[in-house]
Each structure stands twice: as C-alpha cells, then as structure tokens.
Structure 1
Amino acid sequence: MYIIQFIRGFFMALADSVPGVSGGSIAFIMGFYDEFIDSLNTLVSNHSLEEKKKSLFFLFKLGLGWIVGMVLSIFILASLFEEQIYGISSLFIGFILFSIPLIANEERKTLAKNYRGLIFSILGIVLVVLITYFNPTGGGSSITLHQFSFPLAIYVFFAGMIAISAMVLPGISGSTLLLIFGLYVPVVNAVKQLLTFNFNVFPLLFCFGLGILGGIILTIRGIRYLLAHYRTQMIYFILGLMLGSLYAVCMGPTTLETPQPPMSLDNFNILLFITGGLLIIGLEKVKGISTIK
C-alpha cells in the first residue's frame, strides 16, 4: 500500500534529518530494513530489468514520504536547532537510548550466537568517540556553504559520502556525523535557502549531493554483504555505533558556529528525552504494518 510506504519514508526522513538515530535504524525498528537494503542493492547491481523496476517502485513510494518528511524537518530544524540545542539534543538521546534495546531484542538470537562479538561493539564506540574528539571543526570553527572553494567542495563531497553511508546503516546517524564535521547547521540552512529559491548555495550542495550518490553506490553492496555473511558482528558493531553517538550528541553544542558547552545534567531536558523514547516505542508498536505490501 502506498500509504504504508509513505509513512515508512516519512519517519525515516525525520530520523535522517536529526543527529541521533539513523533512517536505517527506523527501518530496522519498523521491520523493513532488509527489503530497503535489497532494493537499493538491486538498483546498483547486475539484476534483471524486471527486478530493477520492482525495487525502483518500492523506493519511489518510500521516497515520496522521505521527501515530505525531510522538507518539513528542514524548515523546523533550521530555526530551532541553535536556539534550542540542549532540548533537541535531549530528544535525540531519547531516540538513541530507547532504540538500542529494541534492536538488541529484535536480533537477540543473532547476538546470542557469539558473545565475543562484543569486541565489535567496543570498536564502534571507540570509532565514534575518536571521530568526535578529533573532528576538524572542533572549537567552533565556522564553515559556510556560501563561500565556494575547491578544498571546501572536496570536504563537503566526502562528508556527504560518509553521511549517507551512516544514514542507511542502523547505528550512528548521518546527521550526527555532519554535526561532528561542523556541517549540520550549514547544510540544513543551505537546503532551506535552496527551497526558498536562493541558488547561491547550489554549487556546494551539488557537491554534497554527488557525495551522497557516491556513498550509495560504494557502500550499499558492502553493507548487504556484511549483514548477510557477518550479521552477528555487524549487529554488535551497529549497537556500538549507537552507544558512541551518545557522546557525539552530547558534544554537538561545541560544534556550533557560536560554540556552546557540552550537554550536562544541568541543561538536560528530561521531558524531551522521554518524548524521544516514546516516539521510538510508538514506531516499534506499529511494526505490524510492515507486513502489508
């Protein structure tokens, strides 16, 4: 049904647009992640025309909801993010912490096969913490997408490639990586300006889009292969990425153009944290609709 795929895509976009849980995590929680990855893989691999049409039709329905969700998120987040950074970050932490047990429960049989896979969780945590700690824009160095330059274009291209890889992989959000790289607010503002027909930001958004396409082509087949042949290790790794992203979100305020102190108990918003958790639980409760085609 169109409406089911639209809703799926809509919630994936809401997740992809904010640092915290990736759209891949939402697809995982709602029970259609394997179908999503298989469809993407079919488009970039050597499959029959009929299979490609079927996958494209599925992704088209999903994409309509994703576009609507992303546009709505962009207009809301562009005005709220810097002003309400601690409240929004509390919401993101709720997304992450409540998602982890849901994914672990969904994959409990896989995880129980080899508890030595915990080393991959540690690896995921360490990877995110190191990327966050050594990020190139720490200390509030300002990045603006209005000033086109070749080095900045290359930087944005690779950031887009890495971000989309994270967005389709359950675990760390691509938006969290953009936050780490100091590009989250600039990209959100630039997309909002482009939607209001300000084309000054187009050149670097074009580079960002090329990075996204490159990331999809290069990583989808790899992700599908790893999940098919090393699922236990991948699930442990994904859970580690999610745990590590808690640190990234807490440090997010330090990457703003005007740096703010990291999140602490003093500026943590418990109500928004609970709200984030309830939203994730709500998505898991409606997972039954994933059986409707």
Structure 2
Amino acid sequence: MTTTPDGATESLPTLRGSIPPVREWAKTFAIGLCMGAADGVPGVSGGTIALIAGIYERLIAAVTAVTPKRVVELLRSLTPLDGGISGRGALAILEEFDVWFIVALLGGIVSAIVVVTRIIHVANQETPALLFGFFFGLIAASAVILLRALSVGTGLQALAGVVGVVVAFLLSGPISFLDGGGLLVVFLAGAVGVSAMILPGISGSLLLVILGQYTRMSTTLTTFVDSLLGLATGGSVARVVESGTVVVTFVLGGLVGLFTISRVIRRALEWRRRGTLAFLVGLVVGALRAPVQRVAESPGFSQDVTLAFAGAAVVGVVVLLALEWYAVDLDLDSV
C-alpha cells in the first residue's frame, strides 16, 4: 500500500474507534439468528428477514463492496511491501466492507443454521412425512406470495416462468447425479444456494432441495459439529476430515457464489427484471415436487403418511402466511 501523508494517516480509523458498541453487535447478531433460522428451511428466505429488519440495503452494499481491487489493496496493506504494513489502512478498507456488521450477522446466521439443521436431521430420521409436509406448505405459501407480487407483462416473461417451473420440476425428481454427487456438485450447490439467500422471497435452502443436496448438507453439518465436539473425548480425526471436507467445499462454493452468482442475478434483474423474477418464481412453483418426491421414496404415501403430510403442510402454509401478513408486504419491484 502506498505511503500516505501524515494528515491522511491521522484520518484513518483506529481499532478502538471502529468497533461498534455491544448493543449494536447484539442487535445485528439477533437479526442474523432470525435470518439463519429462515435460511435453514426451504420456502423461507433470509433475504426477506433482512428486508423486514431494515438491513437489506446495507447487506447488499457490504457484499457488493468486496471487489478484486479492494481485496488486493487489503492484502498489500498487510504485507511489508510498497511502504510497509499499514494496520489502520487495512482497517479503513475493512470498514468499507462493513466488516463488523458482517461478522456479527454471520455469527448469528451460522449459529442458527447449526441448530436448525440439527433439528431437521433428527426430524428427517424420525418423522420425514411431517418434516417434508411442513416444507411443502412453506414452499406452497411462498409460491402464492411471490405469484401475487409478480407482474408478467409479455409472453417472453411468461415463458421464463414456465421454464423455471420445468427446470425445478425436473431437477426435483430422482436424479442420481445430483442426489448425492461428488464435491463438484456440493461446490455448485453452495454457490447457488448461498447466492440466493440474499434475495427476498427466494429461499437458498429451497434451491438445495431442488439440487438434491438439502438433506445431505444438513446431515453432514450435524455430523461435522458432532465430530468436532467428539475430539475432546478422543473422537476420530478421520470423521472430522471426512465430513469437514464436504462442509468446507460447500462454504467455498458459497463464498464464490456470493460474490459472483449474486452479481449475475442482480445484473439479470437490472437487464430483464420481470423475466428474471418470473424464472425465479417458477423455480419455487416447480420445487413443490421435491418434498413429495422425498416422502414417496421413503416412507411412501400410505393413508397415515398422507394425512400427516397434509396436516404438516397446512401448518407450514399458516406459518408463512402469518409471517407475510404481519411482517412485510413483499414488493418484488423493490428487490
């Protein structure tokens, strides 16, 4: 980083003056908890929670502030080159990234996702019909909300919506390549899922369901956390490495997606807003096949299972419609 004049150096932030008060940290962390809980279940969008909490624009600004040029400047300021290490210069760049806000928010999101995925892991083993029935209700209600907010004005926009339905419907079926798959599939799932989590109304977890990676990732994350805790009592390092490899691959894919695919989506929204939104909403509608397919494979739709699935679906519909009714009137034109 180039040497700055004394006056410029004095104007750079200090660590003590940069860190926000505890109350602000706690508020942001709490919002992150709500976003993480929403992101952990298909049909509910963490982006919608950010919109409700009034931090959506700040979140988008923080994500788009991270550019290759700024990252290079940050790295240069932390190396003894081109004028020496400049901690305050690095801090100034981190403030442009709104780093303290992101750290607190991510802390809440990750904490909630770990808890939610553990609950889902247990429910998937014990009561899959109730779990996926609830997901079906969430997805169905989400589709209704989005369709109500969507305005389609041309045949091409309608075609984009139909394409979205078909793509999600086909991918939600029993496709062996995606359902399981190798680390490349996990990486791509992370890129797509995480990038969608910042869009109001579009659930990143729902896209993981479509890609056949939702149950796998929730189970793997639970295994990874358990194996880490197990190291304290002599647990297996191999188990940590095995599950950790999948988790790290997903996270790396998520980071790539957050700073690339999310920008592509934003550009597409700027270029053909209604057509892009119609496609995204079509994905939600087509994804209704996913929870039905999951229950059809195991345990199968007996009379008791069908009643449990339907009852849980009603609960899911009520939960999401209540959230939409009392919390926010979603306007897709503001996305």
Q: What TM-score bracket applies, with the shorter chain setting the length?
A: 0.7 to 0.9
Hey, what's the Cα distance between the residues in 2 that align with 1:22 and 1:177?
11
Match of 1:161 among 176, 187, 191: 191
Pairs aligned (count): 272
Q: For the structure 1 residues 266 and 153, does the alpha-carbon distance in structure 2 shift closer, same or farther, using more than 3 Å as the test?
A: closer
Alpha-carbon contact 1:20-1:249 (below 8 Å) kept: no
Measured in 2, the distance between the counterparts of 1:188 and 1:276 equals 19
Which segment drifts farther, 226-235 or 56-65? Answer: 56-65
Q: Which has the larger radius of gyration?
A: 2
The residue type equivalent to 1:229 in the other structure is W
Q: Secondary structure at the match of 1:133?
A: coil
Moved more, 91-100 or 169-178: 169-178
User: Is 1:286–2:327 an aligned residue pair?
Assistant: yes
Q: Are 1:185 and 2:225 matched, yes or no? A: no
Shift of 1:82: 2.8
Question: Which whole-Å deviations, capped at 9, do the CAs of 1:220-274 have from their partners, x for residues lacking one?
Answer: 211221223322112212211111111122212356xxx4336998245444333
Aligned to 2:263: 221
Paired with 2:30 and 2:146, the residues of 1 have a C-alpha distance of 20
Does 1 or 2 have the higher relative contact order (CA < 8 Å, sep 6+)? 1
1:10 to 33, 42, 56: 33
Tell me whether 1:273 sits opposite 2:313 in the alignment: yes
Task: Output the CA distance in 2 between the equivalents of 1:8 and 1:53.
Answer: 21
One-letter code aligned to 2:291: V
What do the CA deviations read for 1:11-59 (whole angstroms, capped 9, x no partner)? Answer: 3222322233343455457665454334322224657956953543443
What is aligned with 2:176?
136
The question of 1:260 aligning with 2:260 is answered no
Q: Is residue 65 of structure 1 aligned with residue 113 of structure 2? A: no
TM-score by length of 1: 0.75
Q: Does 1:90 align with 2:139?
A: no
Q: CA RMSD in A?
A: 3.5
Q: Report sequence identity in percent.
A: 25
Task: Please name the residue that 1:148 is paired with.
Answer: none
CA distance in 2, matches of 1:66, 1:155: 23
Deviations 1:121-168 (A, max 9, x none): 111101101212362258xx8x5xxxxxxx833332233223323433
- 3-state secondary structure, aligned to 1:12: helix
Partner of 1:291: none
Would the alpha carbon gap of residues 120 and 274 (structure 1) be closer, same or farther in structure 2, given more than 3 Å must change?
same
**Closer/same/farther in 2, CA of residues 74 and 162 from structure 1, 3 Å limit:** same
- In structure 2, the residue matched to 1:231 is 273
* 50-59 or 213-222: bigger deviation: 50-59
Is 2:31–2:50's contact at 8 Å kept on the other side of the alignment? yes
Alpha carbons of structure 1 residues 131 and 182: separation in structure 2 relative to 1, 3 Å: closer
Cα gap change, 1:73 to 1:51, in 2 (>3 Å)? same
Q: Contact (CA 8 Å) 1:194, 1:202: kept in 2 or not?
A: yes
Q: CA deviation at 1:177?
A: 4.0
- CA 1:278 to 1:85, structure 2 compared with 1: closer, same or farther past 3 Å? same
Q: Say if 1:15 and 1:23, in contact at 8 Å, map to a contact too.
A: yes
Checking the alignment, whether the CA contact within 8 Å between 2:164 and 2:283 is kept in structure 1 is: yes
- Structure 2 length-normalised TM: 0.67
SS of the aligned residue for 1:168 comes to coil
1:41 corresponding residue in structure 2: 64
Aligned counterpart in structure 1 of residue 44 of structure 2, from 7, 15, 21: 21
Q: Which segments of 5 or more consecutive residues in structure 1 lack a partner in the other structure? A: 144-150, 289-293
Q: Which residue of 1 aligns with 2:162?
A: 122
